[in-house]
Amino acid sequence: MNPTRPSQFSMRQRVVGVVGGCGVALSTLMLAVSLVTAFGPKSGAHAAVASSGSVTLTVPGGVPATGVGSATAFNMTPPQGGACEGPGGSGYRWQAFLAAAQVDASTLTFPGGNATNSGSGFAATMFSSEGTPVGNQFPSASPNGLIVVQSPFAFKDFTRLQFPAGSYQIGIACTKDNLVRGYWASTITFTTSTTDPLGLTWAPAATPPPTTTTTTVASTTTTTLAATTTSSSTTTTVRPSTTLAGSSTTVAASSTTVAGAGGPTSTVSVNTLPARIPTTGSSSTVMIGLWAVLLLIFGRMALVLSRPVRVLPPKSR
């Protein structure tokens, strides 16, 4: 019997066991990272959202606002059924705001109900006709998230802001955690006035007229020619293939030139695309499954190799 054989085997077993233990630790760590990446909270900048439509601006009596003074009360309402994704009890709020026309309203924030623009451009919370800022209002619980505007608005309390005449957007935004989740806005135009207390009047911006397209049809002259036997030839020119950036899709471009006897030539360009453009990328689910399988393999390895080696006594002859 070789007395060194058990110790040599035990040493190899310990080395493999250490490797298995390291594999267990690494697989556990990467599995946790994959789970957090797939199902954990998403970080990063708030994604911009598009406007859901326009608000309706009317003066008392339901008359559309036009040439209104700064002290005149007016109503502002979203489209019928305008609602946030959830009620006030779920953390949703609605805000009334005024911002410069060039400001992206979806990027505004509303800490404490105050409209704030992190970039350049005017932004402020709207005031009611009684001089109260209209911010952090609760959407209805039933119907779910419905916005109910009860108080009229006015610009008389904007005197201290001294914003210049020009185009602005006015609207209502749904927010959660002070970030815009959706909004409705219309463009209004302020005009300098010598008779208004604030020095300006306003009106909704005129809606541009629909675009009209005029189509001109050229006259056609038909000439009858005697029957003639002609021959034609076709020449096909193959251009170099083009590979689209960021993918492995190759587009082969070719042109076919058709020459008629004694007549003009015509060239037809043909782009041949594959039936399906392949997509690449990794899936969080695949990564979770991969690290889970590796964890089982390394865990089994560490468990089996951690058991002590049983050295059987030699058989007596």
Statement to judge: residues 100 and 160 lie in one domain? yes
* In contact, 81 and 125? CB cutoff 8 Å: no
What is the domain count for the chain?
2
The packing angle between helices 5-39 and 284-305, to 10°, is: 160
| The one-letter amino acid at 227 | A
Please give the structure tokens belonging to residue 115: 């409209």
Statement to judge: residues 25 and 74 lie in one domain? no
> Does 155 fall in a domain?
yes
**More confident: 301 or 173:** 173
Strand partners, 243: 250
pLDDT band at 60 (very low <50, low <70, confident <90, very high): confident
pLDDT band at 289 (very low <50, low <70, confident <90, very high): confident
Residues 303 and 22: their CA atoms lie apart, in Å, by: 13
Statement to judge: residues 26 and 86 lie in one domain? no
Statement to judge: residues 100 and 189 lie in one domain? yes
pLDDT exceeds cutoff 90 at 76 = yes
Residue 268 confidence (pLDDT)? 37
Question: pLDDT tens digits for 226-258?
Answer: 444 444 444 444 444 444 444 444 434 444 443
The 3-state secondary structure of 268-317, one letter per residue? EEEEECCCCCCCCCCCHHHHHHHHHHHHHHHHHHHHHHCCCCCCCCCCCC
The 3-state secondary structure of 38-71, one letter per residue? HHCCCCCCCCCCCCCCCCEEEECCCEECCCEECC
Domain of residue 14, residue span: 10-34+287-310
Residues 77 and 30: their CA atoms lie apart, in Å, by: 51
Structural domain ending residue among the three candidates 204, 239, 260: 204
Structural domain ending residue among the three candidates 204, 224, 248: 204
Q: What is the largest CA-CA distance in the chain?
A: 124
Residues 302 and 295: their CA atoms lie apart, in Å, by: 10
Statement to judge: residues 16 and 131 lie in one domain? no
> Does 80 fall in a domain?
yes
**More confident: 229 or 102:** 102
> 146-171 in b/e burial notation, b at 16+ Cβ within 10 A?
bbebebbbbbbbbeeeeeeeeebbbb
Residue 88 confidence (pLDDT)? 96
pLDDT band at 306 (very low <50, low <70, confident <90, very high): low
For 30, the enclosing helix (H) or strand (E) is: helix 5-39
* Average pLDDT score over residue span 47-53: 77
Residue 189 confidence (pLDDT)? 92
Residue 217 confidence (pLDDT)? 54
